[in-house]
Structure 1
């Protein structure tokens, strides 16, 4: 987390424009709208389009297994130093089959002990995407357990969460009620 206060104030759910209400409608049904969406609702037309792409990445249309997807998302969020993203996706990752030990090892990356060859390949490719915006030939070849669509979805997932991390960090989106900031991601000014 980079900022102690938001640069873009989340909308007040009791004072929404029609465009904001429409953009937030999918989340309002659940009765709980998290800060990322309340913040992005300041640009409601962008939020509506964002929801379509993010919905794809987080759905079963993404050919990665939920565990593989969350491994990529958490590593991306950690490398981008996005405390908010990390906090949200630790819970999702645990539900997707990651262990608490694995979540901690994600911080170390592909060099951490005890990863499977599959996990090392996914983490290495994620590191290269975030750091260099490109997967090297060697790392691409190491993803041979993924089919073409899965490789594309792996890149889409890292790209989506790099973008999300940029927004969260730059807009100063604060943790939601009940969340705890991982001390390793406390970069607040």
Structure 2
């Protein structure tokens, strides 16, 4: 059970409308139900505006999110994203596994994806990119995309903190970390 109780239905109309927009008809995730029970936290969470697609391809976005969650040992959010988006992002089984178990230079990634994962790893480890890492990222992504990558890393690190520190139970239908 979560350390902070999630909301239970029926939900207030404004909360239900947010759930409907985010979940597109699926039941709301425990994470969303916990956050929505605390208006200030919910507003800040949604205010990040990173729950939409943004300027990255779905594939690049999911690589960033999956790798960030894996680096933060957040099986909850990693599993939610792999289940919901891996197929649409055309991530192979080997690539999904690599987000958790492989280094950035794994053979299953393109050169651009290796540079993307190396940037995620650097941001996680040092909260910055050195000149070579930034140059490598800039070879494949424009300024808007680079800003999105950095913001996604920070946002999903925060999501990982929430899911891990609140001991959110894994979603029943979500993927599990490869062993």
Give the TM-score taking structure 2 as reference length.
Answer: 0.87
Q: Does 1:46 align with 2:41?
A: yes
From the superposition, tell whether residues 173 and 95 of structure 1 become closer, same or farther in structure 2 (CA, over 3 Å): same
What is the Cα deviation at residue 109 of structure 1?
Answer: 3.0
What is the Cα deviation at residue 178 of structure 1?
Answer: 2.4
CA distance in 1 between counterparts of 2:86 and 2:131 reads 28
CA distance in 2 between counterparts of 1:35 and 1:64 reads 26
Residue aligning to 1:172? 167
Q: Of the candidates 153, 157, 168, which is equivalent to residue 148 of structure 2? A: 153
CA distance in 1 between counterparts of 2:131 and 2:152 reads 19
Residue aligning to 1:133? 127
What is the Cα deviation at residue 73 of structure 1?
Answer: 0.4
Q: Structure 2: which 5+ runs fail to align?
A: none
CA distance in 2 between counterparts of 1:180 and 1:69 reads 18
Q: Of the candidates 102, 106, 109, which is equivalent to residue 112 of structure 1? A: 106
Q: Does 1:90 align with 2:75?
A: no
CA distance in 1 between counterparts of 2:20 and 2:140 reads 39
What is the Cα deviation at residue 45 of structure 1?
Answer: 2.8
CA distance in 1 between counterparts of 2:50 and 2:115 reads 20
Q: Is the 8 A contact 1:23 1:45 kept in 2?
A: no
CA distance in 2 between counterparts of 1:178 and 1:67 reads 21
CA distance in 1 between counterparts of 2:119 and 2:162 reads 22
Q: Is the 8 A contact 2:94 2:108 kept in 1?
A: no
From the superposition, tell whether residues 141 and 44 of structure 1 become closer, same or farther in structure 2 (CA, over 3 Å): same
Q: Is the 8 A contact 1:83 1:182 kept in 2?
A: yes
CA distance in 2 between counterparts of 1:89 and 1:118 reads 21
CA distance in 2 between counterparts of 1:64 and 1:180 reads 23
Residue aligning to 1:187? none
Matched pairs, number? 173
